Amino acid sequence: MVALAQLVELRIVIPAVVGSSPIRHPISPVESFKESFKFHHRFHFHFCAYSAMSDYPKQFKSMLQLQDSMNTKVHPEWQQQGFAFYRALWLECGELVEHYGYKWWKKQTPDMPQVQLEVVDIWHFGLSMLFDGRTVDAIAAALTTELQQGKVDQLSVLDATEALAEETLATRKFSIVKFWALLAAADMNADTLYRSYVGKNVLNFFRQDHGYKEGSYLKQWQGREDNEHLVELGEKLDGSSDSYAQDLYAALTARYSAARAAAAS
């Protein structure tokens, strides 16, 4: 932390709101601490919602490709079926509210890990809603542009969830800007979304490919559940790599195969 005496001559630049010019504040000892506390939460929101913008097109493209693959497993011609993804999305919003808590007549503590899982589930359906004949590259570019040009509101978890649900019901379209407000409200950012989304999809594919449907898959190995192995392996890999999903799948396969071999010997 900068010593108090050093703050007298300093000037700082603080991003006020998304899309606005920086505000320069002359620093006095008193003003420094007032401005620091005043803008801390706004700066944190700005960072969570807009970290690593240059990575967005690549991450969006990767997640769109994974979503297309997963939906194709459900139905090879899923884009022509008219599935009501918008309905699944707003119902997931309701589940998120349940996990966060809204009942003022009883004590409730927000279950934030579960809330964040619901955010990822919402993202699955939101991505599915974006396939409208455009290429994956075009959709990824459009999402990035919308985030760059749109205004992401600073809202509470409940208000952000309701705003997204309301927009979805009214338009039957997915608003990346409304979703990004929910992402930030849930204390997530682009990187945590990407890792969580890719991880969940990789694990789903991995389970199916290793006998989950037939009942031969071991969900617990080496004394831990597969999702724990997933998190550990994911943290060791480069999340910005184009091959992150493939690398994670390969790492899971190697560890699972070794565990099965050890159990059989």
How do residues 69-85 score in pLDDT, each as one tens digit?
989 988 999 999 999 99
**Please, which pLDDT band fits residue 19 given cuts at 50, 70 and 90?**
very low
Query: How far is residue 143 from each of residues 6, 25, 135, 163, 189, measured CA to CA in Å?
Result: 43, 34, 13, 18, 15
| Domain ranges (residues) in the chain | 4-50, 53-264
How do residues 171-190 score in pLDDT, each as one tens digit?
999 999 999 999 999 999 99
Between 45-54, 65-74, 217-226, 236-245, the lowest mean confidence (pLDDT) is in 45-54
42 has a pLDDT exceeding 70: no
Please state which architecture CATH assigns to domain 53-264: Orthogonal Bundle (1.10)
The β-bridge relationship of strands 23-26 and 220-221 is unpaired
